[in-house]
Amino acid sequence: MPTDAPRPPIWARPEPSARAPRFSRDRIAAAALEIADAEGIEAVSMRNVAARLGAGTMTLYNYVETKDELFALMDDALMAEAVVPEGELPDGWREATAAIARRTWAVLSRHPWAITLRQGPAIGPNAMLHFEQSLAALAGTALDTAAKYDVLGIVDAYVFGSALRAAETRTQPDPDAVQAIVEYGMAQLATGRYPHTAGLLNGHEPGDPEVAGPPLTADAVAAYFERGLQAVLDGVAGLVEP
């Protein structure tokens, strides 16, 4: 028997078989999500998760063998939040795709650290269900397999990119650093190498509403996402409904 065969993913292995196990993988994933939401993904470790559960670190290894497996469980827990509840997926490719995109974006907005989560090749049951729903949204179209992949890739790229930008807007920069950047930018504009940018700022000070746009409230960020999503779906309609 070869000893270097790839280890099956965590979902292919049964949970501890004790009659009344103290924990479950779902509870462990929930504790890890709580830590990441409160302290950032860097704070997630086997030791910290065990401490939150009131257990010893070695106890946790009875359920999750590696940190990669812990991240895989976290990723699939996020996918569970992204899945549209059964019976609630709208009819029509556009509304169904939009519903999935909105739900996924909402998950990434609640857990902005998730954009940087790397869980490797493991694909859990909720991730598979999320992908199944995405395909179901396009099932009534005449798209072939390659075109369906293209559509899903386009929408996912927009959703993740928009979530990443929204996460950046939540960061509170150091005022002194902002001032230094503004001074550098103004000095660069004075060189004449950036005429379009200078034209945009002509007659305004950096930070004026005419230049900076409306305040980035949660509602404004959500509205920005929705406008972009509709523009993306307008483009996708050219593939779905030529």
The domains of the chain are located at 10-170+218-240, 175-206
Distance CA 68, CA 72 (A): 6
Q: How far apart are CA 46 and CA 132, in angstroms?
A: 31
CATH C-level class of 10-170+218-240: mainly alpha
Question: What is the per-residue pLDDT for 137?
Answer: 97
Integer Cα distance of 11 and 145 in angstroms: 28
- Tell the burial category of 150 from Cβ atoms under 10 Å away from its Cβ (0-12, 13-18, 19+): middle
| Residue recorded with tokens 């909402």 | 106
What integer pLDDT is reported at residue 82 of this predicted model?
A: 95
- Radius of gyration for the chain, computed over Cα atoms and rounded to the nearest angstrom: 23
The pLDDT assigned to 1 comes to 43
For the purposes of burial, counting CB atoms within 10 Å of the CB of 4, is it exposed (0-12), middle (13-18) or buried (19 or more)?
A: exposed
> How much is the pLDDT for 143?
95
Q: Which residues of 49-72 are buried (b: 16+ CB within 10 A; e: fewer)?
A: bbeebebeeeebeebbeeeebbbb
Ranges of H-type helices in the chain = 25-39, 46-53, 57-60, 67-82, 93-110, 125-137, 145-169, 175-189, 195-201, 209-212, 218-240
Cα–Cα distance, 222 to 106 (Å, whole number) = 9
125-137 vs 67-82: helix axis angle to the nearest 10? 30
Q: What is the pLDDT of residue 77?
A: 95
Q: How much of the chain is in helix, strand and coil states, percent to nearest 5?
A: 65, 0, 35
Closest CA to 98 of 47, 147, 143, 158: 158
- What does each of the 242 residues of the chain score in pLDDT, given as a tens digit? 445 667 788 888 888 765 556 789 999 999 999 999 999 999 999 999 999 999 999 999 989 999 999 999 999 999 999 999 999 999 999 999 999 999 999 999 999 999 877 555 568 999 999 999 999 999 999 999 999 999 999 999 999 999 988 877 666 667 777 788 878 888 888 888 888 888 777 766 555 555 555 556 778 888 989 999 999 999 999 989 87
Alpha carbon 144 to chain centroid distance? 27
Which amino acid would we find at residue 26? D
| Residue 5 DSSP code | P
| Confidence (pTM) | 0.82
